[in-house]
Amino acid sequence: MAPIKVGIVGYGFATKCFHLPYILPNPELEVYAFLQRAAAPTPGSNEQTPRWGHCTVDFPQAKHYRTADEFFADEQIELVIVLTSRAHGEFAERALRAGKHVVVEKPFVETSAEADRLIALAKEKGRILTVFQNRRFDSDFRTLHHLVSQGALGDVLEAELHYDYPEPSWIAGWTQKEYIAGEGMTFGLGTHTLDQALYLFGRPASVTAFLRSNRGVDSEIDDTFTIILQYSGKQKNLLVTVKTAIVTHMKDQLKYFVRGTQGTYLKVRVQLISPWEPY
């Protein structure tokens, strides 16, 4: 069977760090095309190349498109992976309407209404639409998932999922006061830990969120959050807390603290790793 021809939208850090290392070793996938708006560098010139390089240099055999119209018109592309920093919904919709399957980097989109619309469109077109959640594959989370799914902890009564990061450098430019959909730590890191909570325990009966700005700036864009998930039915005694804090003076940052009727899982992050680094 011929490999699936993959078209990638964007050629930045996520492409090179989180996706290509998993696509390239897979014989069932072929890196076929890129949508990168920067022109290919001219050999021997002194022109500045993009920060993360250029697809024509790293993948000279792949097709390079500079416009979305040309990229999505290529009928050979079977699977589109959307790896832009913003406009996920726009590119996902164009891919679906062009008859492509779609993988979108997290966070999926900025509103639930847009998510519902894209899911409905994927069903209408008979195409797969999914979100890449790489933190499901962290070894410590896989261990926790195995313990919970096998009932090793008994009935889980409390779970804390942390992604704490003291004084993160990447929020230095978060100076705007007014909230912007898609900005802030809940979208940035909460999309990892909330996904893990849903993957472990399913959909909650209620969600309560506390969003704060603790970076010394009067802003509606959060850098710290606590989200409480409450459940019902057979899980009525389960309380899940999802947290990110930037003021956290600890040698080893807490990651998972899960207590059940037959056991406890406690995990700390000994080495502080940037969210943009793979474990």
User: Domain map of the chain by residue range?
Assistant: 4-132, 136-269
Q: Nearest CA to 108 among 139, 130, 76, 136?
A: 130
Written out in words, the top-level CATH class of the domain with range 136-269 is alpha beta
pLDDT in tens, 81-98: 999 988 999 999 999 999
Could you tell me the CATH superfamily of domain 4-132? NAD(P)-binding Rossmann-like Domain (3.40.50.720)
Dump pLDDT digits (tens) for 118-135: 999 999 999 999 999 999
At residue 254, what is the residue type? Answer: L
| Cβ-based neighbours of 179, under 8 Å, separated by 6 or more | 220, 221
How far apart are the two ends of the chain, measured CA to CA in Å?
Answer: 33
Tell me which residues of the chain have a pLDDT lower than 50.
278-279
